[in-house]
Amino acid sequence: MAAAGLREPLHEALCMQLLLTLLVFTFAGEACKRVIFNVPSKLEADKLIGRVDLKECLRSADSIQSNDPDFRVLDDGSVYTARAIVLSSEKRSFTIGLSDRKTQTLKEIYVLLEHQKKMLKKRHTKETVLRRAKRRWAPIPCSMQENSLGPFPLFLQQVQSDAAQNYTVFYSISGRGVDQEPLNLFFIERDTGNLYCTRPVDREEYDVFDLIAYASTADGYSADLPLPLPIKVEDENDNHPIFTETIYNFEVPESSRLGTTVGVVCATDRDEPDTMHTRLKYSILEQNPKSPGLFSVHPSTGVITTVSHYLDREVIDKYTLIMKVQDMDGQFFGLSSTSTCIITVKDSNDNAPTFRQNAYEATVDENTYNVEILRIPIEDKDSINTENWRANFTILKGNENGYFKISTDKATNEGVLCVVKPLNYEENHQMILEIGVNNEVPFIRDIATRVPTMNRALVTVRVKDQDEGPECNPPAQYVRIKENSAAGLKVNGYKAYDPETKNSNGLRYKKLHDPKEWISIDEISGLITVSKVLDREVMAPRNDVYNVTVLAIDQDGRSCTGTLAVNIEDVNDNPPQLLQDYLVVCKPKMTYVDISAIDLDEPVHGAPFHFSLANTSPEVNRIWTINKVNGI
């Protein structure tokens, strides 16, 4: 089957591929070369037909215009059809105007569209003549524009069977759009084979209709096999691209590096894929707050990135972008839509905690401890109640003896300075502490290189003097007295002192505990007097120190307690003593017996001992002898 009214030679020629020649030159002929391209004569809408080297003609063109509305020219020189075109003649031309406003240069590229038929090979006389076999009718390419305005019924094409040359043939069709939903969209004239469409079609609902055409004689004889007859619906740019989200929400850390990915926006377009109708381009229409511009979007991928180092949550914590997507690769005539993108700037530790003052003062009474003496407030611009805001305080200098401790009040973020060991006014009237503060987490890497990570302040602690009682210092004081010293011997006793006057004037002394009542103490001077003869050997437990507890009292009744340790020097006042009163020697089994002795005095007055027999008669000396054992 073929188009009606065509004879075989013409039909054969139309089946050949048609060519298109593109001729480019400028009026001046200076920069443009002649280029030839070949394309079919039937051109679909939004199809690339060639590419022109614009820069070769005018390198700095800022305006590109076609004088034929059927053709569009992109910035890269690509030439697209604006609608479906059939070149009715062998030639068609239009011009592309190029202009540069800065140099006030105008040039034109002349485009010639030319198609020519392939030359048939001439048959030599010697070639054998081939007999033509019976032809089958073939599918005829057919298309229709979606959303056509008619008039309806709209003629699409004519089909014809070769059998019509010999018979009266009647045509019919079937398939979706005829006897299947959508019903009665197409019909064919029974006698002529003219195919019609009855109403507009939406390509996004039906992109192709696979019809079957039949040719039969009046008596029902099938003159040809059924012919597949696809009807393609040509796309029209009738669908706006739509963002997948009405509102996008993204987060980005402040002080992010240049080029940090914030998020991705995406849009879909129901028009035909892989055409200009679905070639989308993304852009940012507006940013609020407007200045400075901090974000960009990749035109093809929709990836939003940072283009500035000036993200600062403490200045602006949220940005709103109005995003635009446009088809036709962003050309002004493309369809577009918008969406909102909300970018929240997340806090980073890019602000150091700082003291409000460089120096502070505090006072504390001497001898007090476990008390709070100062609260130190700080400033930190980071997000409140986060690890970037919470402070850590440290005593850097001045607390070598551990008198102070500093901690953080979690509710107020203040440093709380406390005294944990009693201070002595007489030793330190004041102390100077160096306090440092930083956050719970380190500074971010880029900021840490240019901002000190620890702020410092000085705290002067003044110690207030208190009217204290006497001090028994050292707590234990020693004196030496020989044992067996006569009663009435006077020796220096325990000495306490007033910390304010640094002397003992006005103090009174009292004996609190004297185990053997060996000494007495003078209430005014503190001198001790031996009351009884001292015997080192009767002390229990046995040692050389006899402890007496002394109470020192000032005029206001305040007191302290000390120990007077009396070191009793040993005198050799104890003879050695035999441990056994008598010994038994049994003959003949026993040949000797051990005799042992002890001395209660110190070892210097003790062993080695000299043993001898009391009876030194010759008879006793003949029977008994005494020998040292182990050299003792």
The pair of structure tokens assigned to 48 is 């690339």
33-46: average pLDDT? 67
Token output for 356: 């409000």
Indicate if the pLDDT at residue 27 is higher than 70. no
Structure tokens at 232: 């393609």
User: Looking at the domain that runs over 142-234, which CATH code has it been given?
Assistant: 2.60.40.60
What's the farthest any 2 CA atoms get from each other in the chain? 183
Instruction: Express each pLDDT in 392-405 by its tens digit.
Output: 999 999 999 999 99
Q: How far apart are CA 193 and CA 255, in angstroms?
A: 73
Average pLDDT for residues 600-609, to the nearest whole number? 71
Q: What is the full DSSP assignment across 264-302?
A: E--EE--S-TTSGGG--EEEEEEEES-SS--EEE-TTT-
CATH class of the 476-569 domain in this structure: mainly beta
Helices (H), 429-555: 445-448
DSSP letters, 343-360, are EEEEP-S-S--EES-SEE
Report pLDDT for 594: 76
The three-class DSSP label of residue 10 is helix
Report the topology of domain 354-464: Immunoglobulin-like (2.60.40)
- The class level of CATH for 242-346 reads mainly beta
CA distance 378 to 353: 6
In the chain, domain spans: 35-115, 142-234, 242-346, 354-464, 476-569, 573-631
Confidence class of residue 4 from pLDDT cuts 50, 70 and 90? very low
* 17 against 258, higher pLDDT: 258
Would you state the structure tokens that stand for residue 447, as one six-digit string? 């900021």
Report the distance separating Cα 396 and Cα 437, nearest Å: 10
pTM of the predicted model as reported, rounded to 2 decimal places: 0.53
* The two structure tokens encoding residue 493: 């006793």
Please report where in the chains the tokens 């390198």 appear, as a residue.
59
| Burial class for 501, CB neighbours closer than 10 Å (0-12, 13-18, 19+) | exposed
Block residue for tokens 């970037």: 388
What three-state secondary structure class fits 419?
strand
pLDDT of residue 135: 45
Q: Which of 497, 514, 496 is nearest to 566 (CA)?
A: 514
Q: Residue 17 above 80 pLDDT?
A: no
Kindly state the helix (H) or strand (E) to which residue 57 belongs, with its residue range.
helix 54-57
Beta strands 455-464 and 430-439 are: antiparallel
The reply to whether 142-234 and 476-569 are identical in fold is yes
Pick 204 or 14 by higher pLDDT. 204
Euclidean distance between CA atoms 496 and 488, whole angstroms: 23
Question: In sequence order, which residues have a C-beta less than 8 Å from that of residue 93 and are 6 or more positions away?
Answer: 110, 111, 112, 113
Among positive and negative, which fits the CA dihedral 398, 403, 408, 409?
A: negative
Distances (CA, A) of 189 to 53, 158, 193, 257, 410: 49, 9, 5, 70, 90
The predicted structure's pLDDT at residue 19: 28
Q: Cβ(601)–Cβ(576) under 8 Å?
A: no
Alpha carbon distance 387, 410 (integer Å): 11
Non-local (6+) Cβ contacts of 278 within 8 A are 241, 269, 271, 272, 327
CA separation for the pair 277, 333 (Å, rounded): 11
Residue pLDDT, tens place only, 105-163: 888 888 877 665 443 333 333 333 333 334 446 556 789 999 999 899 999 999 888 88
- Between the two ends of the chain, the Cα-to-Cα distance in Å is 147
Q: Of all residues in the chain, what percent carry a pLDDT higher than 90?
A: 39
CATH number of 35-115: 2.60.40.60
pLDDT number for residue 2? 37
> Can you tell me the distance from the alpha carbon of 228 to that of 165, in angstroms, rounded to the nearest whole number?
21
- Asked if residues 206 and 172 have their Cβ atoms less than 8 Å apart, the reply is no
Q: Residue 361 and residue 595: Cα distance in Å, rounded?
A: 79
Which residue from 388, 293, 280, 382 is spatially nearest to 339, judged by alpha carbons?
A: 280
- If pLDDT is split at 50, 70 and 90, which confidence band does 37 have? low
pLDDT in tens, 86-108: 877 767 788 888 888 888 888 88
How open is the CA angle 220-225-226, to the nearest 5 degrees?
90
> Looking at residue 123, what is its pLDDT?
34
Sheet of strand 105-114: strand arrangement: 21-23, 105-114, 91-100, 63-66
Residue 16 has what pLDDT?
30
d(CA 9, CA 2): 12
3-state class of 189 per DSSP? coil
